[in-house]
Amino acid sequence: MPIATPEVYAEMLDRAKAGKFAYPAINVTSTQTLHAALRGFAEAESDGIVQISTGGAEFLGGQYNKDMVTGAVALAEFAHIVAAKYDITVALHTDHCPKDKLDGYVRPLLDVSAERVAKGLNPLFQSHMWDGSAETLADNLAIGQELLAKAAAAKIILEVEITPTGGEEDGVTHEINDELYTTVDDALRTAEALGLGEKGRYLLAASFGNVHGVYKPGNVVLRPELLKDLQEGVGAKYGKAAGSQPFDFVFHGGSGSTAEEIATALENGVVKMNLDTDTQYAFTRPIVDHVFRNYDGVLKVDGEVGNKKVYDPRSWGKSAEGGMAKRVTEACANLRSSGTKLK
C-alpha cells in the first residue's frame, strides 16, 4: 500500500502527532524528482508526503498548453504505479493554491477524486492546500468552509493557510514583517469556521515568522513557541484537556531552520514540514558539477562532436536524483521521522 488510503493517511498524521515527529513534504516537478523523493524516504525508512504546487503542475502539464490539472493528474497516476516499488507509504498533496487558481487547479482535482470515490476507489490525492493568506481572514475561511466540505466528501484532507508566510512561492508574495505571526484570535476564528474535525479534517499552516526561500541568518525571526499559544488558546475555549493539541500544524518556509526551531515546532503539534528550496538545490548541484567536469563533452566545442555518454540526460540525471534523495533523508532525520515507517 505505497500510496496511502484516506484511513492510512489519517493514521500517519496521528502517529506523527503522538510521536512528536513530522513528515517532510517534498515538492516535485518531474518523474525524476518524484523518484528522488521516494528514494530518500525509503532510504530513511520513513513514510512521507509528495506535493505538487501550481507552478509545478503547470510545468508538468508541458510548455505547449501548461495545463495544471493534466500535469498534476499525470504525475499522481505515475506515482500510484512506481511507488509500489518502494517499501514506504506516501501521501500525495497539492501545495499552495491561491484564490485565482482554485477553478483551474484544486476544484477540478477535488472533482476527479469525488468521481473516483463514487466508483468505490480511493481519491487520487490525499490532501489539497487552499492558500487564502492574501485574502481577508473572513473571505479565507468562507472559501475554506466550501472546500473543506468538498474535500471531506471525497475523503480528502484540506490544508489551509490562514495568515501570510513571507517571501515568494509560485508568484504569491508577502513582505517580511510583523504580520507574519498568527494570533490566538486568528486561531479561534479558524476553529469556529472550520471546526476541529467534525466538519472534516484539515491541516493548519499558521505563521510564526516563516519565510519561503533562503535567507541569511538574522533576516528571519522564527517563533515556533507561538504554536503552543495557539493550541492552548483554542483548547481552553473548546474544553480540551490541558496539554491537548487541537490543531495539526504545517511548517512552511522551513529551509535553513535551526535544529532547535524545528524541535520546538514538533513539540507544539507540527506534523508536516514543506521542503522545496533545499531539495531544488540538492537536485541541481550535481548537474552543475557534471557540466563543469565534462564541459568539452556536454558541448560540441570548436566544431568537435562532444561525448554522448556525458550529455545523455541519464548520466547527470542519476547524480541529480542521488543528491536530492540524500537531502530528503536528512530532512527525515531532522524531523524525527527516520525509522518510523508503517510496517
Q: Catalytic site residues?
A: 95
54: exposed, middle or buried (Cβ count in 10 Å: 0-12, 13-18, 19+):
buried
Task: Tell me the three state secondary structure of residue 274.
Answer: strand
| The CA-based dihedral angle spanning residues 192, 194, 198, 201, taken in that order and rounded to the nearest 10 degrees | -140
Whole-Å CA distances, 160 to 38, 67, 203, 311, 314: 25, 23, 6, 43, 38
DSSP state for residue 208 in the 8-state scheme? B
| The CA-based dihedral angle spanning residues 119, 87, 7, 149, taken in that order and rounded to the nearest 10 degrees | -70
What are 168's strand-pairing partners? 173
C-alpha cell of 331?
530532512
Show the CA angle centred on residue 60, arms to residues 57 and 65, nearest 5°: 90
Q: Residue 149: enclosing H or E segment and its boundaries? A: helix 137-153
Q: Are 41 and 332 in contact (CB under 8 A)?
A: yes
